[in-house]
Structure 1
């Protein structure tokens, strides 16, 4: 009876999704692709950065229902198209009051400067710069505009860069939680929040170094755009905070006024009959800029933690993202097989993850090089630890000055909760069969000496593999890599000096280098082919419920009933996976075709 009701519920849910959600999405997508943006002859393009930016647009067609905002790549692509759109006359930017992700700010600043170079004005408006996060990165973006406005009641409190860590060491000790970790080496500081009550010497040294690098980069680039000596700008900033009027007197901003006044000025500059167009509307209608020409470059993107698998149970309506090793590796192999693709640009924005997943992707990069297709990495916000693992063997690495990279190291371990749970009358007891290592990860007991030795040995092996891979990829000696590794994070600017990256810049510079390595003329137009392709609505819905979910199965069965080939292909995969879990064995899934 329970199964009957689950099936009925699944069918009902599938019907609702199939009849309501899918048509809405398909109609929306069709409408966006069939008609261009409703852009007036004199348009003001408004870019609102207050909601934050992801690095890359989502792969799911349903992401728009999850409330996701713009991505850095979307901003870069759209501004590139707006440069050449005769209808777009002015760019208006709404700045966040707190910090922006530094590397994202670098990339957005570069896109704004290219837009301005086309002869079109840019007006940025701020309702204040508050001392939270990397606020100097937000100011740097504002400084790249033709005019920087501030609201009259706002405060200019961008006086530096601060960061805090919450250390749980004393609390864990008090409540009986025992962290059992190994780290390679002293700069691999992720475990310190569990084991310490303050910054260790190496932790403090590393954080101050990369924070100082990001701060100095922001000041230098803002000074360049404001045409002020860096030392003078730094002195003015650090003497604050200032009122809007005081910031104007010190040439930190250009005008004081409300956002409505800035909008009126932008409309006046755009000309008679002008209108403000929201950035997301313009971007959605224009679509990604894939270029044109005979020569093809593949662009493969990955954002988030690196994990094994294909992401079959990912939420298509959510805003989170991960790099699934099966997906990214397959995308690289697809680009290798594509006879039109002459080079690959790998966009990486990841703080790391699984060594096994990272190596799977790195192997695909090696395969591309062996096939004669150059690989250029463009680093986003992060390309650290596992993110650097998948990047290190590329032919060329481009990073933003504020990208966080390196972190060549490894850590792992467990929490022993026996004493902590016992305080609440909870007892943990375990059983195991097999070898001594079978219960190594049990939360009831510490590592035994032999388990600790074996676990430490695995950490040493992974760290050694990482060192070898970086030495091979970057043409450095293992000894030299060992000196700059130890788990330490570097900014892109620092990594350039150390030989961990080759060039500072963003996607534009990466594509230019890919053209060079592929022997394509620098002035030739190239066509961008993106891998992997966006999921179909059927695939996204199947993933939403898990490949064995009754609702997804019912939905795909309905699609099969109307003889939709994509629906039938997904159904075959779902049924095969269900059979595996229920004890049946099949030789192979039929391809999706």
Structure 2
């Protein structure tokens, strides 16, 4: 027995020492990589250069400020993909840079939402006003990459490439059958007939209301896409719809026949065309990536008298203080809003939101700070791909709301979901529970029993109360009659174009328009942009982030690898009162 205990103790000590060594190893490697981020070499831009944009890597609203998000831990290399903010900055600067002759769109894919893709496309169209060229090339075109390509003067593709053009689709996976088999009983309370987030737990197919709203916003997005393509390519919308319905365009020759592209070229032929356009006589083109071009640009965030704060907030809205970097933590965002409200050097605020919503309470906390800030200085809301449900809630009292035409927003509705897992635990795992309560409803939110009728009635009243608050905020902030808001609410999702039409937003446009609008409202002709949240000290990020990741790793290793714990955490995420949109369309 003593020998066995010694072996166990030795194993525990070995794991502990190994963990410490692993920690310091990652600390050393990450330190080297982060140091290299701090001393990025300034690149040289030769005359007759071409800015080459490859959007195949994920494009966030903002270039990651966390150094760990820029390190590929699998290969221990630095990922240098700029966010939308820096990509737009590169395009604007290249427009007036005499060394840059044009832009080459390298389009293996577009790894961005359709609204962000549209913002890049608009920037490219504006770039062409300088008289410089934009050329697009792909081996194969998807609908999204082709939509971006139509900003170009010339569109080329590989002669043997495929051309995908067949319309939009939104597919929903329903979990009711699985939950029934597992023995998990969802209890759903909601307000809003279009609030479809809970349907995946309750139904096996779409409700008529959900089908109606999905069809409406898909049609709105599609009509916008083909309208823009029709303008750029001088092809009628009827023809484009016919191409999609009949699958008339699948190959490069067919795309050329219907004037969707300008020529089918091999890569060497493309290089020759680019050489002619850029007046480049050398053997090798001078191609500059946005990552390298950024190193040559002056710092735009130097302290000046007039500043506009651009606050980026993306992900689910949550109360959890220790949540991941890619979510909106209520108190953290509230603190940033308080900071800019009190900062006399900040004349206006742009709040850039890309969120499906989340916790109702967290949304209310952020909403209050937006309301207080808008009383002191202009607050311009800018919608990214998504600002729905709680993501819209927090914007209602902004001074003005600007949305992309194809952003998804609205979803003014509330729901609550509780899960009774007792049948699953007992029938599938043989686990039973017992409890002692001091009062009849002390275990009301337990995951091992159903709600009583009295408790369900109480929950419905609370959901109705939160819904009334939501509608009231929209009514007051958007200056719409309460009854009118109820007509367009009910959990219904709208595109940005429709949101402007019904009064949920003021105008369409992107991030740059939001910044320009903020400057106009503040009466500024000259200003600099201050991006928030600010990046912390890189070494603080290193220690804080690495310790968090190791803690998470040890936690998952010793606790959450069990099916039960992973399952429970997935269900707990949707417990309580939520303002959230779950179903999102994909554009290939």
> What band does the TM-score fall into relative to the shorter chain?
0.7 to 0.9
* TM-superposed deviation, 1:207: 0.4
**Which residue among 248, 253, 273 is the counterpart of 2:256?**
248
1:544 corresponding residue in structure 2: 545
* TM-superposed deviation, 1:176: 2.7
Matches within 5 A, 1:431-442: 431-442=435-446
- Seen in structure 2, the aligned counterparts of structure 1 residues 549 and 160 have a Cα distance that, compared at 3 Å, is closer
TM-score by length of 2: 0.84
8 Å CA contact 2:42–2:295 kept in 1: the answer is no
1:269 corresponding residue in structure 2: 277
8 Å CA contact 1:220–1:230 kept in 2: the answer is yes
**Which residue among 326, 337, 340 is the counterpart of 1:335?**
340
Please tell me the root mean square deviation across aligned C-alpha atoms, in Å.
Answer: 2.7
**Which residue among 424, 428, 432 is the counterpart of 1:424?**
428
* TM-superposed deviation, 1:369: 1.8
* TM-superposed deviation, 1:365: 1.0
* TM-superposed deviation, 1:245: 0.9
Secondary structure in 2 aligned to 1:40? coil
- Seen in structure 2, the aligned counterparts of structure 1 residues 255 and 293 have a Cα distance that, compared at 3 Å, is farther
Secondary structure in 1 aligned to 2:155? strand
Query: How far apart, in 1, do the equivalents of 2:240 and 2:434 lie?
Result: 62
8 Å CA contact 2:136–2:155 kept in 1: the answer is yes
Query: How far apart, in 1, do the equivalents of 2:217 and 2:293 lie?
Result: 36
Matches within 5 A, 1:554-569: none
Query: How far apart, in 2, do the equivalents of 1:492 and 1:93 lie?
Result: 27
- Seen in structure 2, the aligned counterparts of structure 1 residues 201 and 457 have a Cα distance that, compared at 3 Å, is same
* TM-superposed deviation, 1:441: 2.6
8 Å CA contact 2:310–2:352 kept in 1: the answer is yes
8 Å CA contact 1:345–1:376 kept in 2: the answer is yes
Secondary structure in 2 aligned to 1:186? coil
1:71 corresponding residue in structure 2: 83
Matches within 5 A, 1:176-255: 176-242=183-249, 243-255=251-263
Query: How far apart, in 1, do the equivalents of 2:507 and 2:332 lie?
Result: 27
Segments of structure 2 that go 5 or more residues without pairing to the other structure are 1-8, 73-78, 553-588
Q: Is it true that 1:25 corresponds to 2:34 in the alignment? A: yes
Moved more, 506-515 or 51-60: 51-60
Q: Is it true that 1:375 corresponds to 2:407 in the alignment? A: no
Query: How far apart, in 2, do the equivalents of 1:18 and 1:267 lie?
Result: 45
Query: How far apart, in 2, do the equivalents of 1:397 and 1:11 lie?
Result: 50
Moved more, 462-471 or 430-439: 430-439
* TM-superposed deviation, 1:291: 8.5
1:154 corresponding residue in structure 2: 161
* TM-superposed deviation, 1:230: 2.9
Matches within 5 A, 1:94-173: 94-96=106-108, 101-130=113-142, 135=143, 137-173=144-180
* TM-superposed deviation, 1:454: 1.7
Question: For each residue in 1:95-132, what CA deviation from the matched residue of structure 2 results, as whole angstroms up to 9, or x when unmatched?
Answer: 245885221121111111122122211111122235xx
8 Å CA contact 2:307–2:345 kept in 1: the answer is yes
Segments of structure 1 that go 5 or more residues without pairing to the other structure are 316-320, 552-593
Question: For each residue in 1:49-80, what CA deviation from the matched residue of structure 2 results, as whole angstroms up to 9, or x when unmatched?
Answer: 22342232222122210458442223212211
**Which residue among 407, 413, 420 is the counterpart of 1:409?**
413
8 Å CA contact 1:36–1:286 kept in 2: the answer is no
- Seen in structure 2, the aligned counterparts of structure 1 residues 120 and 548 have a Cα distance that, compared at 3 Å, is closer
- Seen in structure 2, the aligned counterparts of structure 1 residues 174 and 276 have a Cα distance that, compared at 3 Å, is same
1:60 corresponding residue in structure 2: 66
Secondary structure in 2 aligned to 1:155? coil
- Seen in structure 2, the aligned counterparts of structure 1 residues 525 and 447 have a Cα distance that, compared at 3 Å, is same
8 Å CA contact 2:30–2:542 kept in 1: the answer is no
* TM-superposed deviation, 1:249: 1.3
2:99 corresponding residue in structure 1: 87
Secondary structure in 2 aligned to 1:462? helix
Q: Is it true that 1:394 corresponds to 2:398 in the alignment? A: yes
8 Å CA contact 2:50–2:104 kept in 1: the answer is yes
Query: How far apart, in 2, do the equivalents of 1:436 and 1:284 lie?
Result: 64
Query: How far apart, in 1, do the equivalents of 2:456 and 2:102 lie?
Result: 62
Aligned length: 534
Secondary structure in 2 aligned to 1:533? coil
8 Å CA contact 1:55–1:381 kept in 2: the answer is no
1:472 corresponding residue in structure 2: 476
8 Å CA contact 1:11–1:550 kept in 2: the answer is no
* TM-superposed deviation, 1:22: 2.0
Question: For each residue in 1:260-293, what CA deviation from the matched residue of structure 2 results, as whole angstroms up to 9, or x when unmatched?
Answer: 4323322331222441223333335547754997
